[in-house]
Chains A and B, each alone.
Chain A
Amino acid sequence: MAKSIIKNIKIKGMSVVLGENEIKFENEPAFYNNDKTQFAKLQKMIGFDARYCANENTTAADLCEQAAKILIKNLNIEISSIDAIIFVTQTPDYYMPGNAHVIHRNLGFSKDTIAIDLDFGCSGFVYGLFVASSIINSGLRRVLLLAGDTYSKLVNPKDRTEAPLFGDAGSATIIDYDETAQESYFILKSDGSGINHILQPAGAYRNPSTEETRRDVADEDGNIRNQENLYMNGFEIFNFTLTEQPKLLDEILEFSGNTKDSIDYFALHQANVYIVETILKKAKIPFEKAPSKIFTKYGNQNSASIPSVICSELRDKFANDKKKVLMQGFGIGLSWGACVMDFEKTICLEPKIYGCN
């Protein structure tokens, strides 16, 4: 049972950078044969409105690098005070080396800094936080956690079940050793039997890239994709989410000795508005404690989605006060995880668009 209590860790600050192109769903009716009824239904039910996608030449490493620079400057800390870089992404600059090494070079880290990549999607922020906390628990003092993706480049624009969902973003979080910090609680879960429910079937080593794997095919609804595009089985993912996520919410509350009342804020991965609100209703979480409409502003930002909830909607809540926050992510793998942690005097910065000061 992957349940863990980690002492003496504190989130010092967090920042998010968005892809530079704002795309409005209202400008895409042609993809739905200009069917206004279907268009309006999707907009209302799923929460489609705006998403930010990165330019062709902008990568997850670029987004996270800018987020890191902004955060380091605002926290007024030295690069040399950071013992480890963890980069959570599934859209790296290279197959090898990992993005953490790209950041290590670009920000001028010393040779004494650890650089690690983690291959996770929507559950990645919680997994990254767990690894960062474990590293601090092993005796180091400060970790830079970067979590970001450019999934808009993995989806086929003509696949209307996937393309309007994903926005690109990069986040940076500084996690410190803190003698006075309360215990943090983690529960992490995996289910490899669900590999086929969200995946990019070809392009790596099991099924390498060929002309055939790049050939577009249409499904019965007219969505077009090839084997190197992201594929998500919406039905299976919806079932997984509604079966496992309310259960995990209850489990982490019990494990951490909390109740729905004693948690100040719930920061859930923003898959889409319908999914988040359905989880909240099923778990009986009050909506005022749990932002559920970030998807409408930015789209599904994968591993950067939880930092976006915090930086966009909760950043003023714990600048001075101590607040208990439950964070929960779920997605590709399948993997899912939750943690409960105190936020106190945590500097969370308003999301910025890439390239803007």
Chain B
Amino acid sequence: MKSKFKHAEIKGVITVMPESRISVSEEILLSAFGVGLSWGSAIVNFKNAENLGIRFMKNKSVPSREEMTKHWINYFKGE
């Protein structure tokens, strides 16, 4: 698991499920630990929960740094 998806923070917990081919009708013990330090566990019943697996993000159009700077300066000036 770790070699394929690497460390993925909270996603690390979620990514376990499709890879382990756990039936969504089972109770699953979730456990996480990290910055803080903080750590926690939960046992959650995933019955009837839809498991959509993992997808790659589609690129979305975002303004460039120059466009953002221009936008905010104009916004400040009320233009």
Interface residues, chain A, with chain B CB atoms under 8 Å away: 96-98, 101, 115, 196, 201-202, 206-207, 210, 212-213, 217, 219-220, 225, 227, 231
Contacts and interface: CB of A to CB of B under 8 A. Distances in A.
A220 B77 contact: yes
Nearest to A196: B75
Interface string B36-79: 11100000000000000000000000000100110011011110
B77 to A, nearest CB: 5
A130 B78 CA distance: 37
B1 interface: no
A101 B78 contact: no
B69 A225 contact: no
B75 to A, nearest CB: 7
A231 B69 contact: no
Nearest to B79: A220
A212 B75 contact: no
Contacts of B77: 217, 219-220
Chain A: interface secondary structure? loop
B69 A213 contact: yes
A219 B36 contact: no
Interface of B: 35-38, 65, 68-69, 72-73, 75-78
Nearest to A217: B73
Contacts of B78: 219-220
Contacts of A225: 76
Contacts of A101: 36-38
Contacts of A231: 72, 75-76
B34 to A, nearest CB: 9
B74 to A, nearest CB: 10
A206 B69 CA distance: 12
Contacts of B38: 97, 101, 115
A18 B73 CA distance: 33
Given A97-B38, A207-B68, A231-B76, 8 more contacts: A97-B35, A101-B36, A201-B68, A210-B65, A217-B76, A219-B76, A219-B77, A227-B73
Nearest to B38: A115
A227 B77 CA distance: 12
B69 A212 contact: yes
A276 B65 CA distance: 38
B66 to A, nearest CB: 9
A202 B63 CA distance: 13
Contacts of B72: 201-202, 207, 227, 231
Contacts of A98: 36
Contacts of B73: 217, 227
A338 B52 CA distance: 37
Contacts of B37: 97, 101
